[in-house]
Amino acid sequence: MPKYLITISGPTAIGKTALSIELARHFQTEILSADSRQFFQELKIGTAVPEPEELDAAPHHFIQHISITENYSVGDFERDAIRKLEEIYQQQDIAIMVGGSGLYLKAITEGLDDFPEVDPAIRLKLKQQLEEEGIDRLQKELFVLDPDYYRTADVQNPHRLIRALEICIGTGKTFSSFLNKPKKPRDFTVIPVGLTAEREVIYERINRRVDLMMEKGLLEEARKVYPQRQLNALNTVGYKELFEYFGGKWDLDTAVSEIKKNTRRFAKRQLTWFRKDERINWFDYQEDPKRIIDFIESRISS
């Protein structure tokens, strides 16, 4: 029987988790998370990990399965998620993947781009440059070396910046020149679904979510990981702003305001990424899940 992977994407706080559970219960299948920050055991409130009753409603994978101290790349995720899909497909014809991390979704649906190996000393030098001169310096360097990638990349993510720069420096070619090459076809058919709303609605939902996170204890959660703030996993909206509060740079109201602002910026980048994919079938965030199910079933039966 043919196998299908239903992907659910869209900006943060749009309702992807609720829809994924509706679909998983209808199709009696399992959910793989492609939210790269929900992977971490220590980051529950600030990454909007599903509530216990939601996790109990359908089998979930790749939620809080590693520590912030572990190195876990998108390549590691691709390997592990493909292996998990193979297990699911032994029993089911349909699986669901949900998340707002576009690169992680792409790694599973299309496969990763193949990059040449470069001198490890380049990465070490870039990390040192980040520590000594800050992220602005790396952003400017990427803009010069690969303006095409700079315009589409998450340039607030130091890991992505360093990865792109080490390829540019180590090969003498742009990082973007290695992207979107033909890859090995997958053994399943992807049915991509996206949730969206007017920008004002998205921003309002984000603001409400941040307030709710603070009520649930985000401040204390961030305080627990503050001693490890240098870890890449903690360069995450919701934590890095509170670290500035703990360090005395901002008061708490300013930190919360910055969380909201930076989350809105993140949602804008998510929409930019996903809207470039013409295969995604978009639905309003208030759409009746039954209509989305009908659409998916029509794709499966066609």
CA torsion, ordered 296, 298, 300, 302, to nearest 10 deg? -150
| pLDDT band, very low/low/confident/very high, at 117 (cuts 50, 70, 90) | confident
The pLDDT tens digits of the residues spanning 127-141 come to: 999 989 999 999 999
Please tell me whether 254 is known to bind a ligand.
Answer: no
Cα–Cα distance measured from residue 5 to residue 109, given in angstroms and rounded to the nearest whole number: 8
| pLDDT at 217 exceeding the cut of 80 | yes
CA torsion, ordered 56, 62, 67, 73, to nearest 10 deg? -170
Q: What is the pLDDT of residue 184?
A: 75
pTM: 0.84
Of 196, 4, 166, 165, nearest to 89 by C-alpha is 4
The pLDDT tens digits of the residues spanning 158-189 come to: 888 999 999 999 999 999 998 877 777 899 99
Q: Is 277 exposed, middle or buried (0-12, 13-18, 19+ CB in 10 A)?
A: middle
Q: What is the pLDDT of residue 189?
A: 97
The pLDDT tens digits of the residues spanning 259-293 come to: 999 999 999 999 998 998 999 999 999 999 999 99
Please tell me whether 11 is known to bind a ligand.
Answer: yes
Please tell me whether 13 is known to bind a ligand.
Answer: yes
| pLDDT band, very low/low/confident/very high, at 232 (cuts 50, 70, 90) | confident
Please tell me whether 109 is known to bind a ligand.
Answer: no
Please tell me whether 10 is known to bind a ligand.
Answer: yes
Q: What is the pLDDT of residue 164?
A: 95
The pLDDT tens digits of the residues spanning 184-207 come to: 789 999 999 999 999 999 999 999
The pLDDT tens digits of the residues spanning 37-84 come to: 999 999 999 999 999 999 999 999 999 999 999 988 888 999 999 999
The pLDDT tens digits of the residues spanning 141-158 come to: 999 999 999 998 888 888
Q: What is the pLDDT of residue 194?
A: 98
Q: Tokens 């190195």 label which residue?
A: 71
Q: Per-residue pLDDT averaged across 209-221, rounded?
A: 98
Which segments of the chain does DSSP mark as H helices, in order? Answer: 16-27, 52-57, 74-89, 102-109, 120-133, 135-145, 147-152, 158-171, 199-216, 218-225, 240-246, 252-275, 289-301
Please tell me whether 12 is known to bind a ligand.
Answer: yes
For the chain, domains (ranges, CATH) are: 4-112+183-301 (3.40.50.300), 120-178 (1.10.20.140)
Q: What is the pLDDT of residue 153?
A: 86
Q: What is the pLDDT of residue 84?
A: 98
Q: What is the pLDDT of residue 80?
A: 97
Please tell me whether 100 is known to bind a ligand.
Answer: no
Q: What is the pLDDT of residue 152?
A: 85
- Mean pLDDT of all residues in the chain? 95
The pLDDT tens digits of the residues spanning 240-266 come to: 999 999 999 999 999 999 999 999 999
Please tell me whether 14 is known to bind a ligand.
Answer: yes
The pLDDT tens digits of the residues spanning 74-114 come to: 889 999 999 999 999 999 999 999 999 998 999 999 988 88
